């Protein structure tokens, strides 16, 4: 495949891996957190982990939007659609299978008769609202900065069209505050960060500068392909060895220093900072999420329907919160691969296509150690 093949060249990957092997110091550990579930899957899918020296570890962070949404927000959405007549709830596929209260999920609520529809874009939700004027349509919006602009666009279009039956249950979160929280706690004992790629196309590389400076943490924004990840790892190793704490941009073909200004302006027009928001695994973080501005309050489902705040404990034995904080690996969970599988997930990290547990299950369950280069 043209353009992708260049980033999956096995010979080049092995040569860069040899450089990493040569440059890592034998007297120290290198703990690198990938802040994006796409990187986690690339590391396992392409066998990158087997090319790394034993004293270099990849630590999986809270970079999966489905995984970091607390179960209480899902339960609140289920109650909203079950208790409201003539209401359609729309959301993305991965969220449909995440367990909520009493091991329920949006999928199970749909099976019991709730009008919940899987969509591929915010435009789909708008179209459902246009074609069902007699019903209220709520878009259950989640995600980091990558999926926020399409939600903002949907609200702006609905406002311009005067759609009276369209609202958004806003659950969009922001990456830099979560990164700062992970680094400030220190419990993951990190030496460097593989920065997210899609998020960075929106917010730009400069968004991490203050965080890296404050916590003396090297960061390299990495693309999704295997050569991207391996090259970014080499850049991190060099920063660590040289005691530099900079933001480097390996993914220059997509990420700029200032990001997507048009998307940023659209987000600023529609949203404002939410003072407090709960993250699964990280707890309540200040200024780490956004909410719809008062100017567009007519499109805010939390205000129109007074959606209740619900707190739900994670399923007993599930260590998703620890995985999301980078202090545990999925295969350390007693439920992993036994009671918890992609077919019958107990935690969000096993559900999502970007979840760390799903990556371990799909590519790492039967992996055996190979001889290092």
Taking the C-alpha atoms of residue 62 and residue 319, their distance in angstroms, rounded to an integer, is 13
E strands, 80-235, where? 87-91, 116-118, 136-143, 166-172, 192-195, 219-221
Q: What is the largest CA-CA distance in the chain?
A: 68
In sequence order, the 6+-apart residues with CB closer than 8 A to the CB of 64 are 37, 324, 348, 349, 352, 354, 355, 356
Report which of 95, 299, 62 is spatially closest to residue 185, judged by C-alpha positions: 62
CA distances 39 to 21, 46, 63, 194, 229, Å, are: 20, 11, 9, 8, 7
Strand order in the sheet with 116-118: 116-118, 87-91, 136-143, 166-172
Handedness of CA 353, 357, 362, 368 (dihedral sign): positive
Where are the alpha helices (H) located in 49-147, listed in sequence order?
71-83, 106-111, 122-131
Q: How many CB atoms sit inside 10 A of residue 268's CB?
A: 12
Distances (CA, A) of 174 to 36, 144, 153, 183: 13, 5, 18, 15
pLDDT by residue for the chain (373 residues), tens only, comes to 467 888 889 999 999 999 999 999 999 999 999 988 889 999 999 999 999 999 999 999 998 889 999 999 999 999 999 999 899 999 999 899 998 877 689 999 999 999 999 999 999 999 999 999 999 999 999 999 999 999 999 999 999 999 999 999 999 999 999 999 999 999 999 999 999 999 999 999 999 999 999 999 999 999 999 999 999 999 999 999 999 999 999 999 999 999 999 999 999 999 999 999 999 999 999 999 999 999 999 999 999 999 989 998 888 899 999 999 999 999 899 999 999 999 889 888 998 878 899 989 988 776 654 444 3
Kindly report the pTM of this predicted structure: 0.92
């Amino acid at each position: 495949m043209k353009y992708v093949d260049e980033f999956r060249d096995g010979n080049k990957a092995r040569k860069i891996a040899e450089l990493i092997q040569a440059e890592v110091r034998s007297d120290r550990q290198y703990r690198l957190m990938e802040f994006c579930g796409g990187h986690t899957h690339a590391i396992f899918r392409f066998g990158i982990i087997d090319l790394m020296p034993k004293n270099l570890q990849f630590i999986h962070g809270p970079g999966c939007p489905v995984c970091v949404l607390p179960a209480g927000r899902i339960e609140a959405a289920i109650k909203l659609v079950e208790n409201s007549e003539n209401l359609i709830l729309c959301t993305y596929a991965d969220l449909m299978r995440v367990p909520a209260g009493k091991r329920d999920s949006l999928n199970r609520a749909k099976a019991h008769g709730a009008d919940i529809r899987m969509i591929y874009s915010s435009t789909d939700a708008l179209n459902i609202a246009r074609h069902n004027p007699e019903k209220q349509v709520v878009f259950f919006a989640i995600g980091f900065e990558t999926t926020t602009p399409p939600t903002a666009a949907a609200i702006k279009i609905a406002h311009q069209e005067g759609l009276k039956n369209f609202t958004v249950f806003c659950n969009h979160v922001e990456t830099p505050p979560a990164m700062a929280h992970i680094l400030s706690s220190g419990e993951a004992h990190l030496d460097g960060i593989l920065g997210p790629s899609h998020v960075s196309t929106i917010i730009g590389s400069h968004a991490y500068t203050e965080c890296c400076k404050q916590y003396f943490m090297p960061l390299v924004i990495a693309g999704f392909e295997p050569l991207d990840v391996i090259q970014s790892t080499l850049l991190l190793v060099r920063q660590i060895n040289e005691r530099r704490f900079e933001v480097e941009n390996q993914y220059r073909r997509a990420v700029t220093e200032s990001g997507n200004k048009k998307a940023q302006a659209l987000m600023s027009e529609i949203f404002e900072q939410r003072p407090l928001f709960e993250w699964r695994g990280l707890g309540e973080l200040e200024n780490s999420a956004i909410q719809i501005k008062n100017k567009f309050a007519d499109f805010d489902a939390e205000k129109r329907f007074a959606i209740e705040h619900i707190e739900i404990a994670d399923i007993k034995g599930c260590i998703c919160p620890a995985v999301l904080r980078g202090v545990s690996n999925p295969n350390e969970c007693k439920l992993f691969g036994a009671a918890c599988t992609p077919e019958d997930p107990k935690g969000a990290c096993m559900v999502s296509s970007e979840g760390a547990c799903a990556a371990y299950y799909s590519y790492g369950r039967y992996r055996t150690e190979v001889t290092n280069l």
